[in-house]
Amino acid sequence: MTITRRNAASAADAAHAAHAASSAAEPAPAIEAAGLRKSYGTHEVLRGIDLTVPRGTVYALLGPNGAGKTTAVRILATLATADGGTARVAGHDVRTERARVRRAISLTGQFAAVDEMQTGAENLLMMARLAPSAAGARLSRTEARAKAAELLTRFGLTDAADRLVKTYSGGMRRRLDLAASLVGAPEIIFLDEPTTGLDPRSRKELWSLVRELRAGGTTVFLTTQYLEEADQLADRIAVLDAGTLVAEGTATELKQRVAGHRLDVTVADSETYLRLAHHATYSDPETRVLGIPTDGSAAEVRGLLDALDPDRTAITSFTLHSATLDDVFLTLTGQPPATAPQDTAAIAAQPTASPTAPLKDSSHV
């Protein structure tokens, strides 16, 4: 599976963009949004989102369930209209130049948008015949057939091509779904929670597909509730919480936002645990471990230990480690992120937490 080939039109675009960049102004970013707002009834889903995605990069919108990720994607992909603010995608306004935007993008939603009662080949052939190319023309039946066959090979679905999709595994459906979104060779691909519900192997496969797309010059905008996924794939990450962007930057930059290191102390008894818990950004009542942000210098760590435990009886041991994206998430949103991608059942079982809801253990940030 290699995704390095692009069609002639987008290769020309890339050349043009490179030329423009070297000679005069920067090319328009893939995505530019300012002050996006959206409400459903009285519920404010997006409260003013600004973001810029450079061409040819992978951008992750990270946030818990209900943060507004899908709404943001639907607005950028022209499927929903914002109540306020502006957005340009591939240099075109999502409101007034909808058809031009649609020609430049593709969207893969949370649920595989393929027909179960058609075969994989039929699904792809249908999409290939519907997809407008960059020039706006449709493929002929023969060209569409060739395109569908090429995508089936590229995504390892040739053997299953003539089976109904309802017999496919989750990973195969996802691959077909992604293949379907590539029929028109889009410049920008939106992936809304692409790995939710996938087993670890299929998730890794999808990650490598995203990397191949990026290597081929495609801009990828993905949403996820998994820090690991954003960390692995994205050039830049924006953290969305309750309709507001609470942080934006590279994974490294975000990690620096939380003091760089975390001192985990194990306390002697539960009384001390409760007394010190309000200092912690991480806490585990079972093992009585509290995590406290620090810059990691000897002076500060020594000072922290003395301040927390002047009598030198309350803390039994400590460890020091670099801050993880989990710490960032917790600090920024006030709630822990979805733990591990393979643990989808547990995530689905979680009630939709509001940002002000207390954590399941006793610590408050």
Q: Is 110 in the site for another protein (CB under 8 A)?
A: yes
- The interaxial angle of helices 141-154 and 120-130, nearest 10 deg, is 130
In the complex, the smallest distance separating the C-beta of residue 67 from another protein, rounded to whole angstroms, is 20
Q: Is 132 in the site for another protein (CB under 8 A)?
A: yes
Q: Check residue 21 and give left, alpha or beta (phi > 0: left; psi -120 to 50: alpha).
A: alpha
Q: Which stretch binds another protein (CB under 8 A): 55-63, 113-121, 235-243, 280-288?
A: 113-121
Q: Which stretch binds another protein (CB under 8 A): 114-122, 207-215, 321-329, 348-356?
A: 114-122
Q: Which stretch binds another protein (CB under 8 A): 24-32, 55-63, 107-115, 196-204?
A: 107-115
Nearer to another protein, 81 or 319 (CB): 81
Neighbours of 136 (CB within 10 A): 9
Q: Is 339 in the site for another protein (CB under 8 A)?
A: no
- Give the per-residue contact string, 164-193, with another protein (x = CB under 8 A; - = no): x---------------xx--x---------
Q: Is 103 in the site for another protein (CB under 8 A)?
A: yes
Tokens representing 34 are 């300012």
Q: Which amino acid is at 257?
A: R
Q: Which of 50, 93, 97, 122 binds another protein (CB under 8 A)?
A: 122
Site for another protein, residues 214 to 233, rule: CB under 8 A: none
Q: Check residue 62 and give left, alpha or beta (phi > 0: left; psi -120 to 50: alpha).
A: beta
In whole angstroms, how far apart are CA 334 and each of 59, 250, 291, 362?
23, 20, 15, 13
Q: Which of 81, 153, 158, 256 binds another protein (CB under 8 A)?
A: 81
Q: Is 107 in the site for another protein (CB under 8 A)?
A: yes
Nearer to another protein, 98 or 279 (CB): 98
Q: Is 99 in the site for another protein (CB under 8 A)?
A: yes
C-alpha 33/C-alpha 51 separation (Å) is: 5
Q: Is 115 in the site for another protein (CB under 8 A)?
A: yes
Q: Which of 1, 18, 130, 215 binds another protein (CB under 8 A)?
A: 130
Q: Is 77 in the site for another protein (CB under 8 A)?
A: yes
Q: Is 80 in the site for another protein (CB under 8 A)?
A: yes
Q: Is 338 in the site for another protein (CB under 8 A)?
A: no
Radius of gyration of the chain (CA): 23
Nearer to another protein, 34 or 164 (CB): 164
CA atoms within 13 A of residue 146's CA, in its CB half-sphere:
4
Interacting residues toward another protein by CB under 8 A: 74, 77-81, 98-99, 102-103, 105-107, 109-118, 122, 126-127, 129-132, 138, 164, 180-181, 184
